[in-house]
Amino acid sequence: MSRFLSRHVRGLEPYVPGEQPLDRQYIKLNTNECPYPPAPGIVRLLAEHTGQEFALYPDPEAKELRGAIARRYGLAAEKVFVGNGSDEVLAFLCMAFFDGGDPIYFPDPSYGFYEVYANLFGLKARPIPLAKDFSIKEEDYLELDGHILLANPNAPTGLALSRCKIEGILKGNPHHLVVVDEAYVDFAGEDVTSLPLLSDYDNLMIVGTFSKSRSLAGLRLGYAFSRPEHIAALERIKYSFHPYNVNRFTQQAGVIAVEDDAYMGHVLEKIIATRDRTSLRLRELGCRVLPSSTNFLFMAHPSLTGRELYQKLREKGILVRCFEHPRTLDFVRVSIGTDEEIKAFLRAVEETL
């Protein structure tokens, strides 16, 4: 450890990403990436590039990309912010709206970055335990004394809150920001997204990503929707930290991805169908599987801990994700892959049983 490290950083527990093996010998079902390629126009875009324009900085305002996203979601461009992945958007949000020492509430367990950012930015983390069935209870989030971060659908559980329950939380916290992280919302159905509430609640901010349903995890593109004054606050942080945060190619690819709804719909249909078949088969094998509104399943083996199941599947060439949280020690999270990848996963589970 560096002898110059600050006292604050010395005490941080950083986020631990899922394994990213470089030798390609594993079937990767551990990081919730999309198993299918991005929209065909993006592949053509890559082939047509000469590379010369990469010598120039990208548009710091990302006008074309923000405009395309705004049109797709029926918003004014000034209600859209884009960032280098939704993790950067969340970090900018913490810097823009939360002062050191502020309490920040989020489900427990949920996305690991929420607590990491709370510690990084000097906030008071206030995790709220999930119910016994791993659901988020609306009544636990009413009249709180700090801002709220909610992943909806939640990760790693895969469970979703209905829009009416999100609205109840917004009404119950009129003086605090409610950030709804919709990384997986495209897999959840129309009654889950909070987008229709945006015009009625000035304390709502929606965060999303192109990494899941639009297959752009490797290009790092996230976004936020909110009132123009909130978006302007995120821009203030961006221009104080990283003005060129979304590179040229990602901006161009993002436009193609957001405009090709037909392709995304096709990918969603395949993933959801595979997810539901896989869930049914795992239950037939005696596993516990939570209902999923995402592109992954949260499952428990009848006779192994999550760590043991992870290790046995890894030995068979299948990567899944296990977590050390006390509530989830019996579970693993399984990303939905192609039908061929999932067949191999199910064979490995059957052999393990």
- Shared domain check, 110 and 59: yes
Strands laid side by side in the 331-335 sheet: 288-289, 296-300, 331-335, 321-322
- Shared domain check, 133 and 54: yes
Q: Report the candidate in 127, 128, 124 with the shortest Cα–Cα distance to residue 102.
A: 124
Q: Where in the sequence is the domain holding 234, given as residue range(s)?
A: 41-260
- Shared domain check, 98 and 87: yes
Can you give the pLDDT at residue 75?
98
179 domain-assigned:
yes
Look up the CATH number of the domain holding residue 270. 3.90.1150.10
Can you give the pLDDT at residue 58?
96
- Shared domain check, 227 and 149: yes
Instruction: State how many domains the chain has.
Output: 2
Can you give the pLDDT at residue 14?
86
End position of a domain, from candidates 229, 260, 291: 260
195 domain-assigned:
yes
- Shared domain check, 255 and 107: yes
Can you give the pLDDT at residue 24?
66
- Distance (Å, whole) CA 75 – CA 204: 14
End position of a domain, from candidates 260, 294, 324: 260
- Shared domain check, 84 and 21: no
2 domain-assigned:
no
- Shared domain check, 338 and 194: no
Q: Are 82 and 221 in contact (CB under 8 A)?
A: yes
In DSSP terms, 147 is beta-bridged to 104
- Shared domain check, 214 and 92: yes
* Phi, psi values for residue 7, rounded to 5°: -60, -35
- Shared domain check, 247 and 324: no
Q: What is the pTM of this model?
A: 0.96
- Distance (Å, whole) CA 169 – CA 13: 30
Q: Give the pLDDT confidence of 199-216 residue by residue, as tens digits.
A: 999 999 999 999 999 999
Look up the CATH number of the domain holding residue 73. 3.40.640.10
Continuous H helices in 187-247 = 228-241
**Angle (CA) 84 64 61, round 5°:** 55
Q: Which stretches in the chain have pLDDT values below 50?
A: none
Can you give the pLDDT at residue 293?
98
1 domain-assigned:
no
End position of a domain, from candidates 260, 283, 305: 260
Q: Are 121 and 95 in contact (CB under 8 A)?
A: yes
Can you give the pLDDT at residue 21?
81
In DSSP terms, 83 is beta-bridged to 222
- Shared domain check, 337 and 269: yes
In sequence order, what are the residues at sequence separation of 6 or more whose Cβ sits closer than 8 angstroms to the Cβ of residue 152?
Answer: 136, 160, 161, 166, 180, 181, 182, 185, 192, 194
- Shared domain check, 70 and 26: no
223 domain-assigned:
yes
- Shared domain check, 234 and 221: yes
